[in-house]
């Protein structure tokens, strides 16, 4: 059940990050995949910095969106 939760939150985070990064996205499907990876990156980044965004679904989505935006930004640098 935890894997399904992570995939759904990551997919939502990737979709939202694609909306935030207009013109910097890679299409809906790839944004969702990058959102799943972004959730992992966001958790690692905030864990390293000692930042806690909150708990529950909202905190997980915010963390995933921030991680996905970072991933989309870095991927956009290589896209050009």
Residue-wise pLDDT for 29-77, tens only, equals 887 788 788 888 888 888 888 888 877 888 888 888 888 888 888 877 8
Give the residue numbers spanning the domain of 69: 3-78
Question: Comparing C-alpha atoms, which of 37, 25, 23 is closest to residue 67?
Answer: 37
Q: Is the pTM of this model over 0.85?
A: no
pLDDT of residue 1: 60
Two tokens, residue 74:
């870095």
Handedness of CA 69, 47, 54, 36 (dihedral sign): positive
CA–CA gap between residue 70 and residue 57 (Å, rounded): 20
Residue 25 confidence (pLDDT): 59
State the total domains in the chain. Answer: 1
Question: Per mean pLDDT, which of 19-23, 25-29, 34-38 is the most reliable?
Answer: 34-38
Owner of token pair 């399904």: 4
Q: Indicate whether 24 pLDDT > 70.
A: no
Cα separation, 18 vs 2, in Å, equals 24
């Amino acid at each position: 059940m935890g894997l399904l939760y992570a995939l759904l939150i990551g997919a939502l985070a990737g979709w939202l990050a694609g909306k935030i990064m207009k013109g910097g996205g890679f299409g809906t499907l790839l944004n969702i995949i990058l959102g799943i990876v972004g959730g992992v990156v966001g958790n690692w980044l905030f864990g390293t910095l000692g930042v806690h965004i909150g708990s529950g679904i909202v905190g997980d989505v915010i963390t995933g969106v921030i991680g996905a935006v970072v991933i989309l930004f870095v991927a956009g640098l290589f896209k050009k």
